[in-house]
Structure 1
């Protein structure tokens, strides 16, 4: 007989009618829950859920205290819930009364702590100091790549790396008559990492070259949004200056970009070089000018140095990807507690991925500081879902095969756990993509649930560091903001140490409380903000950048 305090299963909320298996439980196992003996009717894999009582077809299923699905067929007591016997369902929502009272966490351990950052003239503080080289239109991607090849290694911003040695080995095996089977079974010797050239600009963390497939040929609203996003990156506290390449005739005009920059920073004073190929003439002249002007800009921003800043200057993006059945009970609540600490200290946090807030709209709208903010959130959620449904795929289609395999059966189950990243503080502001964060506290930003698109948007809104939870593992990073990868379980942390930075599996195993893990994580965040620790995504050069085309992307 298994008892709940043995940490083999968990009831997340007292009103839930399903329990979460914390480890694999075979059919026939008898579990004790609140004086009731439940015999498992099926094998229940860790992270999956089983019923406390028998359910009839149409009965509601509750997790995290909210409706997350309905039984599509009868489910016996102790039966595992699956995509075959449960379908997505969520409560409706309407404008309610304000519920902004909340219990602030004890922040005494962090009240006087600071981080070493780059202070900008607009009052923001960066956790890094990057130069950007970006195209206004996809036509300039090749020129961006040419500049990247010319500059990165020569200026000491990249180590020679690749798999050239492995390719040589494969060619040698082919030339010596090895069979396909022998080649497939060969143990290739890894290419030794080369030595980087001496770094020329010691106070510049890197030059980041971005590519995208937008700027022309799509809708004007998409190109305008692209200009807003790029303006968010140029004015970002982690960016010291930028070089922009424009063809000249595209929808995303330099004038639109400059207007968007002024919206975000009316007194913008960073070095900014905008070069138009159709005005300059030859490609070589464009590239020569880009090289000279970028180099001159780097000389200028290399004079900037890190200085102490209060934690209130941190703006942390809250993301998740490759989620599993433990996300909502370990890593996401830890981020939520950390979020509440930062908000209490006067900092900002950004909760995005609107398709993954389906089912918790009422709670979040009630937590909005005023009715206009609540109405904006509800309107964005309804409009987004209606557009998705019109194209044949509503929020219900959000969970990926990997999510489902690891226990997130419906979008409402996934969403209720994902929302835990936002903690319990009031919602200070609701932003539509690609708006900028201007208020301290919890901000809701409308983005897709797609990992890279959402992370790209959150950083564009001003987040100078991103905390990214994952239960299955994902290498997602960002060009200008350090992305800290947080595992929901220890198995993942041990299996993928090359991409995971921080383990919250300790919460599942009972080694740490959510509060203890959040304190340990915030100490880690400070070390990253200082530039002392480089997260794995930064080490790997995981510079993912995908602007959101405002069509449907879940």
Structure 2
């Protein structure tokens, strides 16, 4: 693959717009396919401009697919913006199977392994966690009480920056009569960081507390889905056992949770302790039992150690958030190549965020291994979008202000770039939230485009690593699965090194090919899966966890 080092780029031969790879001034001469034209507007990096003069209502194509229609005639060299482009995308129907794909060369990884935690059901964890979970929001306070009692004493309190010194300095300056301008310009660069205690259980990566606001008072569908989601976490290969707190009278019953666990792992044998407050009586009795059982469970979990595992035991969740105009030509295609590599090795990947697959439904449905799988994908897309429109917000309203500012003008533009994370391999399964992804290959998982809801769901489906691309920057993480943050551009990577792990802006800068970047990311994944590297989201304790209410969430 050739390196990119130019000022603008045509992504697909069918495209009738070019992408600016750097800021281009008005009046810049553009040379393309032997013709020359002048830019009519300033075009910031990541944004698009027309190649030819286009009449009103002309189609705009990117990534080879329809992404919008123009509102009025545009001359060649005109900036594409929200003022002159409206959403449009192609329809889709059941088509012929298109299952041929060019498998990447896997010789560099065929014999590689990672050191993980082997579970009795054959899965392998990239971490070893204990969970404390409320079945209903009524138990959130008790979970927080357990967290206060256990986390610091066991050495799992996140090492974080202590900003009390800065506050003390501001108080002193204020009391001495400092003005507002003086307060705003005080140098507070000498802050000290807290040090966490050493871990009592060295083979356990963390005790994680998954508070939420569900379990009762909503629809039975949502409480049942919550039990499925929590079962996905309890049976996850990154989890050694769990303590569950239930009030007793809520919709999300312990019996439903147990049934969901059995559905995912019929021979489930991890330590699992469930306590109902209405049965135990006083809070003190409940908490003492929970603490004793959790501590005993941790002594069992601590006996597990990392052992070598082949790369087919990896299940990688593919996610993007804070996307920009470079996402679809740098980080996302790199993940696509990595996805194809892992599939060729026998592993599995999960592509989610269904609102961000708008406009590429035909390609993905044609890649499904059989018609039943294709029909399920189209059905989930159709019904989800119909529910969104019924609530006044169709998929076409998905792009955020940040997306639009950085070049993703319509949802179809955003979706065409987001889908690149899924590579080119056949779709082996389509799964609905909160089901388990238990087939090798590319799995499509129905989730919202919301970063945290989608990441939460991918992990419940079995992802033991999440690769998360971002153009604008985001700190999103997960309680039990390492989330590796990948920048689409060098400027964001340099500006936010505290939350981003890998830079794919090297592709835009012409320093690296997509294949080289994919190989570099996969090497890092192996180190993270082995516990040798700790991603920034894990270091920061970014334990984001939001169950999806099946009411519309885009």
Whether TM exceeds 0.5 here: the answer is yes
User: What is the distance in 2 between the residues matched to 1:45 and 1:284?
Assistant: 61
Q: Output aligned runs, 1:129-528, within 5 Å.
A: 129-159=128-158, 161=160, 162-528=162-528
User: What is the distance in 2 between the residues matched to 1:551 and 1:255?
Assistant: 24
User: What is the distance in 1 between the residues matched to 2:158 and 2:458?
Assistant: 29
Q: Report the Cα offset of residue 286 of structure 1.
A: 1.1
Deviations 1:117-140 (A, max 9, x none): 000011000000000011111111
User: What is the distance in 2 between the residues matched to 1:333 and 1:462?
Assistant: 23
Task: Give the number of aligned pairs.
Answer: 551
User: What is the distance in 1 between the residues matched to 2:285 and 2:174?
Assistant: 44
| Closer/same/farther in 2, CA of residues 277 and 327 from structure 1, 3 Å limit | same
| Closer/same/farther in 2, CA of residues 49 and 314 from structure 1, 3 Å limit | same
User: What is the distance in 1 between the residues matched to 2:167 and 2:248?
Assistant: 41
Q: Could you tell me which residue of structure 2 aligns to residue 95 of structure 1? A: 94
User: What is the distance in 2 between the residues matched to 1:190 and 1:206?
Assistant: 30
CA-based RMSD of the aligned residues comes to 1.2
| Closer/same/farther in 2, CA of residues 190 and 547 from structure 1, 3 Å limit | farther
Q: Is the 8 A contact 1:159 1:197 kept in 2?
A: no
Q: Report the Cα offset of residue 54 of structure 1.
A: 1.0
Q: Report the Cα offset of residue 160 of structure 1.
A: 5.8
Deviations 1:524-552 (A, max 9, x none): 10000000000000000000000000011
* 1:13 maps to 2:44: no
Q: Report the Cα offset of residue 509 of structure 1.
A: 1.2
The gaps in structure 2 that reach 5 residues or longer are: none
- TM-score, normalised relative to structure 2: 0.98
Deviations 1:433-463 (A, max 9, x none): 0000110000000000010000000001000
SS at match of 2:41: coil
Q: Could you tell me which residue of structure 1 aligns to residue 547 of structure 2? A: 547
SS at match of 1:174: helix
User: What is the distance in 2 between the residues matched to 1:197 and 1:438?
Assistant: 38
Q: Report the Cα offset of residue 171 of structure 1.
A: 2.9
User: What is the distance in 1 between the residues matched to 2:172 and 2:360?
Assistant: 58
User: What is the distance in 2 between the residues matched to 1:450 and 1:277?
Assistant: 33
- TM-score, normalised relative to structure 1: 0.98
User: What is the distance in 1 between the residues matched to 2:266 and 2:158?
Assistant: 38
The gaps in structure 1 that reach 5 residues or longer are: none
Q: Is the 8 A contact 1:315 1:348 kept in 2?
A: yes
Runs of 4+ residues over 6 Å off in structure 1: none
Q: Is the 8 A contact 1:430 1:443 kept in 2?
A: yes
* 1:121 maps to 2:120: yes
Deviations 1:374-401 (A, max 9, x none): 0000000000111111111101100000
Q: Is the 8 A contact 1:159 1:193 kept in 2?
A: no
Q: Is the 8 A contact 2:490 2:503 kept in 1?
A: yes
User: What is the distance in 2 between the residues matched to 1:246 and 1:187?
Assistant: 49
Q: Is the 8 A contact 1:21 1:44 kept in 2?
A: yes
Q: Could you tell me which residue of structure 2 aligns to residue 76 of structure 1? A: 75
